[in-house]
Amino acid sequence: MNRPLVLATCGAVLLLMGLAAWHFIGSADGSAQLLTGELWQTMSPDAKIAFVWGIGNLVEFERAQIRAA
């Protein structure tokens, strides 16, 4: 394949992916949910792991900010 065709194809795919993500983000519920025991029990294992990793990253970010100050 020639280079311009590959670049155009990749650009079109990235554009479509961006538009799809924009659509899903715009249709998401904007209200934050309070993490309760009932909500935690209904979450998938992947969502639970992501939550715990997110809290860990937040703690590490705060520690770095305190050290830098």
What pTM was estimated for this model as a whole? 0.45
Q: How many domains does the chain have?
A: 2
Domain range for residue 4? 1-30
Residue 6: CB partners within 8 Å, gap ≥ 6?
none
Q: Do 12 and 37 reside in the same domain of the chain?
A: no
Q: Do 36 and 61 reside in the same domain of the chain?
A: yes
Tell me the C-alpha distance between 34 and 39, whole Å. 8
Q: What is the pLDDT along the chain (69 residues), one digit of tens a residue?
A: 688 888 889 899 988 888 777 766 655 555 666 777 888 888 899 988 998 998 888 888 898 888 887
Q: What are phi and psi of 25, to 5 degrees?
A: -65, -40
